[in-house]
Amino acid sequence: MQNALAAILCSQLLPDSATAPDWILLVPAGDIVARDGRAFSNRTPDAVVTAFRADRKDMPVDYEHATHLRAPEGLSAPAVAWVKDIEVREGALWGKVDWNRDGREAVEGKAYRYISPVVHPDASRNVVRISSVALTNDPALFLPALLRRDPTEKDQDMKTIALALGLKEDATETEILSKINADKTSVELLTRKAEKPDPELFVARKDHDAVVELCSQQKTEIETLKNADTDRAVTSAVEGAIAEGKVIPAVKESELELCRAIGVTKYQERLSRLSPIVKPGEDATTRAAELGKGAAFSREEVEVLRRMGISEEDAKKTRDGA
């Protein structure tokens, strides 16, 4: 494969004139030595002219070799002029240039002072073709960029790419391309899955929020029903205890609070260990009619007083006084 390099030493200073030149020197005659020490020559300039005219297309003039550096990367590489023809003058190659507005302004405004052609030498380093021309101000710095197309540096680039893809550094170009295509396929599959997720694994946020809201409402309703059931069970347990004479009606509210605190089951277990303290169905009015001032308390009344922490003497004073 022929190598392409920038003719750095033959980069020409554009004529210092008020207008952009119609003809520019592309490659000087004879032997040429590049800045990095590699040499090439312009021994067959007529062959270069013949190759150019055989292409039957104009040659681009760009900024900083964008045609060879940016265009392959898919980036913008506009031409600022076109080489319409090439001719030989005393062994040197000259190009006839048709400038567009941007190119003419760049040259006449002295934004760019040099031109640098991209030449293609054969195995003996003799120039056989020119592929483009660049406007540049620092051609020496651009040399490595063009020379990265050299086989040696290309191999190094391939090793870097292979390692980045998780392959061995000596992976072949075919293996590298295969890995890139496989990764590309994986990315496309993941992209499609992300755009159209499996409905069995994912739900829309709107539907999810609606279900959460419904569950919250149902939970509230269930809690309300459970509390109502609990209240009914507590009331039933306490009223049953009153009916059995194990609790007097006067302490019903405190018994309801006790039953809610310890639960109906434990409350009923507690009642099962107690004896009746009043006759079933007897209330305070009935009991008061049966007792006179100074009468002794019944066994059941004594038990109630004991539970309430009231002595019989104080209870009698209170009762008799009333």
Whether residue 178 is predicted with pLDDT greater than 80 in this model: the reply is yes
pLDDT at residue 246, rounded to an integer: 81
pLDDT digits (tens, 9 = 90+) for 141-159: 333 333 233 445 456 677 8
C-alpha dihedral, 227 to 230 to 235 to 240, nearest 10°: 170
The top-scoring range by mean pLDDT among 7-11, 26-30, 43-47, 169-173 is 43-47
In the predicted structure, residue 55 carries a pLDDT above the cut 50: yes
Largest interatomic CA distance in the chain = 152
Q: Average pLDDT of the chain?
A: 78
β strands within the chain, DSSP E: 5-6, 12-13, 23-27, 30-33, 39-42, 59-63, 81-89, 92-99, 114-121, 127-136
DSSP-derived secondary structure letter, 14: P
Q: How far apart are CA 175 and CA 168, in angstroms?
A: 10
pLDDT of res. 144: 30
Please report the pLDDT score of residue 199 as a whole number.
63
Judged against a pLDDT cut of 80, whether residue 292 lies above it is answered with no
Segments in 44-172 forming alpha helices (H): 45-55, 66-69, 101-108, 139-147, 151-164
Least confident range from 43-47, 186-190, 276-280, 284-288: namely 284-288
| Nearest to 103, CA basis, from 140, 60, 68 | 60
Report which residue type is found at 89.
R
Percentage of residues in the chain with pLDDT exceeding 90? 16
The CA distances from residue 239 to 35, 213, 251, 281, 300, in Å, are 111, 39, 11, 11, 18
Provide the token pair at 105.
């302004």
pLDDT of residue 278: 66
Of the candidates 275, 312, 277, the residue with the CA atom closest to the CA atom of residue 296: 312
Q: How confident is the model at residue 316 (pLDDT cuts 50, 70, 90)?
A: confident
For range 108-117, the mean pLDDT: 85
At residue 18, the pLDDT reads 65
pLDDT of residue 140 exceeding 80, the answer is no
Report the range of poorest mean pLDDT among 113-122, 179-188, 229-238: 179-188
Residue 17: Cβ-neighbour burial (10 angstroms; 0-12, 13-18, 19+)? exposed
What's the confidence (pLDDT) of residue 45?
Answer: 94
Q: Using 50, 70 and 90 to split pLDDT, how confident is the model at 295?
A: low
Lowest mean pLDDT among 91-100, 178-187, 254-263: 178-187
The H or E element spanning position 292 is: none
Q: What mean pLDDT do residues 217-244 have? A: 84
Phi/psi at 158 (nearest 5 deg)?
-65, -40
pLDDT of residue 148: 31
pLDDT at 293 over 80: no
Asked if the model's pLDDT at residue 68 lies above 60, the reply is yes
